[in-house]
Amino acid sequence: MGESSNWQITKQMWKLVWNLNVPRKVKHFIWKALQSILPTKLNMWKRNVVEDATCPICKKEEESIQHVLWNCPAANNVWVERSSGLHKWCCEEVDFIQLWQKLMKTLEKEKLEIVAVILAGIWFRRNKFVFNEKFDGPSQVMKQAELMMEMLHKAEEKQGDHRRDMRIRRINTKWLPPNDYFMKINYDAFVNKEEKKMGIGMTARNHVGEILFSCCVVRKFVGEIEVAETLALWKAMETGAELNLQGVVFEGDAQTIAKAVNSKDVYHGWIDQQVLDIKEVLSHRPSWSVHSIFREGNNVAHMLAKRAMQRGEESFWMKEIPSEFVSIVEMEKPCNKLCSVIS
């Protein structure tokens, strides 16, 4: 019963560490401290790396993890700082795991995050002293911890702004027609891992949004989704070659594929050979190009790919599209978009 209880505490402890909203290097530091693998003098002495386990700062006691982060007078000077949040704290634990468990039980998550950053700061200060013979005072450690959290929050704000911008862009994304004398073939793949099959949807439209052809294809498939997306692009290009089409824009919602195809670098991954084959085809057809768009601008091809899986059959329509998609195609025509803006 005791082992199970300890295991549950440990599991909860690891989960909380990795969920802390602190820089990644702080999480790794706390993880190492809890695993007792920080290279303190005591740990190095136990491995016969050094001859003396004495703390290099206070030079009075052995430098254990608990000592360097909490019990050492130099560490105490940091914790008595008012901004540490622990300046009136009393702790008699001699083991860092026990200390961390007490911190987990006592502190709110935000305060625990600050304490984690300060703990890391104390350790980084120790290393700076050992290797560079420079020692920061308590207030400097606190300022660095506050700066680290401030930089993290600013980065999160920027990331949040970027995500909001991306959401707005996706919401506003619509199918766009190609230039005059060009056609656009939208393609997509839909994978059913349980049935080990994939569906490919494809639709070709001209500069005024009229359907030139549409297609549904079903294939046996076992693999990664990016491989399926690459196969969908290959099928679209294969169809274009069979019809001897000129001036074609191939557009899907797999940004990774479009980037790999258009990159001069050699792509290493699941799709390296397929990408090389696609690049070879494009090199002989200068009027063909590959682009990406958000799913919101690739709806018809996506729904055709799902339809292929549902029907389980291959279908090709010249100048037509299944009736359930006609209204979407009409709405996406440039003239209808212009009329809706004017109205």
pLDDT in tens, 298-332: 999 999 999 998 888 889 999 999 999 999 999 99
Q: Which of 143, 169, 195 is the last residue of a domain?
A: 169
Q: Please, which residues have CB within 8 angstroms of residue 97's CB and are 6 or more apart in sequence?
A: 13, 34
Same domain? 102 vs 230: no
Same domain? 134 vs 19: yes
Which alpha helices (H) appear in the chain, and where do they start and end? 2-19, 24-34, 41-46, 65-66, 73-79, 96-106, 109-132, 138-172, 225-242, 255-262, 272-284, 299-311, 326-331, 334-342
Same domain? 195 vs 162: no
Domain assignment of residue 174, yes or no: no
pLDDT of 266: 67
- What whole-number distance in Å separates Cα of residue 227 and Cα of residue 207? 30
* CATH number of the domain encompassing residue 313: 3.30.420.10
Same domain? 139 vs 233: no
Same domain? 116 vs 200: no
Same domain? 255 vs 164: no
Over range 80-103, report the average pLDDT. 80
Q: Are 313 and 305 in contact (CB under 8 A)?
A: no
Pairing of strands 183-192, 211-220: unpaired
Range of the domain at 146: 2-169
pLDDT, one tens digit per residue, over 255-278 is 999 999 998 876 556 667 889 999
Same domain? 131 vs 202: no
pTM above 0.85, yes or no: no
User: Which pLDDT band, with edges at 50, 70 and 90, does 343 fall under?
Assistant: very low
Domain assignment of residue 187, yes or no: yes
In eight-state DSSP terms, residue 220 is E
pLDDT, one tens digit per residue, over 205-233 is 999 999 999 999 999 997 888 899 999 99
Q: Is 204 helix (H, G, I), strand (E, B) or coil?
A: strand
Same domain? 98 vs 206: no
Nearest to 215 by CA among 260, 191, 185: 185
pLDDT of 338: 45
Phi, psi of 93 (to 5 degrees): -65, 140
Q: Please, which residues have CB within 8 angstroms of residue 283's CB and are 6 or more apart in sequence?
A: none
Q: How many structural domains are present in the chain?
A: 2
